[in-house]
Every structure is written in structure tokens, then in C-alpha cells.
Structure 1
Amino acid sequence: MPIIINLDVVMAKRKVSLNELSEKVGITLSNLSVLKTGKGKAIRFNTLEAICKALDCQPGDILEYKE
């Protein structure tokens, strides 16, 4: 898939754990883990917005397009 999820990288830079982010965003650990590992097929804009707010980042920091 040409869309790369860099959530794990952003979380590491911010020193935020999966548990912390799950609580801040209000998403289950399993759903967040699917996103973090890049296995997700979709993300809701309100979820992306909540993640960006919690990590103080832009969507482009999390999502990357590569051919």
C-alpha cells in the first residue's frame, strides 16, 4: 500500500505510550494498535484529528504517501 502510517515514529518522538494515547484519544488499544502497526485500511477524520491534537502534530506527520 502506498500510504505509510508513521504513528509509531511520532509516538516515540513525543515519548507517548500506546496506553496514554488510547486514553487521550478515546480509542481502544486494539484499534490504535492496528493503526500503529500500519495494518489499518481506513481512519476516520475525527480519530485522526484527536490523534493529532493529543500528539501535537499534523496529519502529514502521521500519514505519508510513497509510490
Structure 2
Amino acid sequence: MPIRVSLDRILIDRRMSLTELADRVGVTVANLSILKAGRARAVRFSTLAALCRELDCQPGDLLVYEPGPAEEPEDEL
């Protein structure tokens, strides 16, 4: 997938654990782990906003587009 999630780097910069972030945002550690590993297929804007609020960052700090080989189009938006 051409979208890379930089959550691990930001957590290190903020000296915050995934568990602490999960508690602050109201998302399970399991779901944040999926996002951190780049395996999430979607992220709600409300979750993205809460992550940005708690990490004091912008969405572009968390998500980076890295073009690569052409991929099959997805049905979801």
C-alpha cells in the first residue's frame, strides 16, 4: 500500500507508549497496533483527529504517501 503510517516515530519522539496513546484516544491497543504496523485499511477522521490532538501533530505527520508500482483499485473510499 502506498500509504505509510509514521506512528512509531512520533511515539518515540513524544516518549509515549502505545498503551498510553490508546487510553488517551479511546481506541484499543490492538487497533492502534494494526494502524502502527500499516495493516489498517481505513481510519476514521474522528480517530485521526484524536491522534493528532494527543500527539500534537498534523495528519500529514502521521500519514505519508509513497508512490510505488500500480495497484489494483480498491472499492472503499
**Shorter-normalised TM range:** over 0.9
Deviations 1:8-47 (A, max 9, x none): 1111111110110000000001001100111111100000
Between the aligned partners of 1:39 and 1:29, the Cα distance in structure 2 is 14
Bigger radius of gyration among the two: 2
SS in structure 2 of the partner of residue 38 of structure 1 = coil
Q: Name stretches of at least 5 consecutive residues in structure 2 with no aligned partner.
A: 68-77
Deviating beyond 6 angstroms after TM superposition, the runs of 4 or more aligned structure 1 residues are: none
Match of 2:75 in 1: none
Question: How many pairs align?
Answer: 67
Q: How big is the shift at 1:55?
A: 0.3
Between the aligned partners of 2:56 and 2:32, the Cα distance in structure 1 is 17
TM-score by length of 1: 0.97
Q: How big is the shift at 1:58?
A: 0.3
2:37 corresponds to 1:37 = yes
- Tell me how large the CA RMSD over aligned residues is: 0.5
